Structures are given as C-alpha cells and as structure tokens.
C-alpha cells in the first residue's frame, strides 16, 4: 500500500499539470485504491466556467478506468498556501467510492498533512443504499 508521502508527491506532480488559465488555482489529487495502485488527477478548467473538472473527480475517473474498486486514501493539494478542501460535489464523489476507513488528507500551511474521514467532510452522505431504501 502506498504511503501518504508517495500520494503527496503524486498529487503535487498532478497539480503541475493542471489546466487553470482562468482562476490560476491549480489543484492536484492522488489516491491509492483498494489494490494499492496510485491514480492522480488535476483540475481542468474551461472557458465555459461551470463545466470545469476538479482534480478529485479526475483522480476518481482514473481509478475507475484502471478498474480500481475504492479509495483507500486521497491527498489533495493546491498551489495556494492554505489547505484545499474538496468542494461539495467532490465530497459526494469521494464518499461514493470510499471504504469504511478512507482517509482524506489536506496539506497544511506548515507542510503537515491533516487527515479527515469521509464522515468528517460529508456527514450523513447520500449513498447507493439510499437508492433501494436500505
């Protein structure tokens, strides 16, 4: 299983590839899947602003493409000094593909990583079990 420092490095690399000509807000995300493989993504903006894609969504898409089943841990970084928490939509997407112990790591100003659980960031998340009343 990849350690968090490897994910941090992959997230920073992904961030460098971000396409953010409008906001200049580059974001990178890297996750380890249930098999220990690393998948990363960057944000991709668009001149039609609302249709941009977040780094976390891109990383999850890469995991799905590679047939990963679930997120073990995910690290999210931005080019800003402050921690970059996932937006509401990404919290829902992460929750959909999480495990019971998935860790969401944000980079603090002092370069330390802060760990959150899915429940921390999206309490009472809507999940597939709600679709069938379970």
The residue whose two tokens read 């968090």 is: 4
Q: Report the residue from 58, 90, 106, 107 that binds Zn ion according to the rule CB under 5 A.
A: 90
- Whether residue 44 is annotated as binding a ligand: the answer is yes
How near is the Cβ of 27 to Zn ion at its closest, in Å? 8
Q: Select from 99, 93, 91, 36 the least CA-distant residue to 70.
A: 99
Q: How far, in Å, CA of 30 to CA of 107, rounded? A: 12
**Could you confirm whether 119 is annotated as catalytic?**
no
Q: Select from 55, 78, 73, 93 the least CA-distant residue to 1.
A: 73
Size of site (CB under 5 A) for Zn ion: 3
Task: Give me the residue whose beta carbon is nearest to Zn ion.
Answer: 54
For the record, the structure tokens of 39 come out as 């998948």
Q: Report the residue from 7, 54, 63, 106 that binds Zn ion according to the rule CB under 5 A.
A: 54
Mapped onto helix, strand or coil, the DSSP state of residue 35 is coil
Question: 56, 96, 109, 119: which is the annotated catalytic residue?
Answer: 56
Per the annotation, binding residues for substrate are: 43-49
Q: Which residues are part of the catalytic machinery?
A: 56
Interface residues with Zn ion (CB under 5 A)?
54, 87, 90
Per the annotation, binding residues are: 43-49, 54, 87, 90
């Amino acid at each position: 299983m990849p350690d968090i420092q490897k994910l941090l490095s992959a997230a920073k690399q992904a961030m460098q590839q971000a396409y953010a000509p409008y906001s200049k807000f580059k974001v990178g995300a890297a996750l380890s899947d249930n098999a220990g493989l690393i998948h990363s993504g960057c944000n991709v903006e668009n001149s039609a602003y609302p249709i941009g894609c977040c780094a976390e969504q891109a990383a999850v898409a890469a995991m799905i493409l590679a047939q990963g089943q679930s997120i073990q841990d995910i690290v999210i970084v931005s080019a800003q000094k402050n921690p970059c928490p996932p937006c509401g939509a990404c919290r829902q997407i992460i929750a959909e593909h999480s495990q019971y112990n998935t860790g969401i790591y944000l980079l603090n100003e002092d370069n330390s990583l802060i760990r959150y659980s899915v429940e921390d960031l999206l309490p009472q998340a809507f999940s597939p079990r709600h679709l069938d009343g379970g």
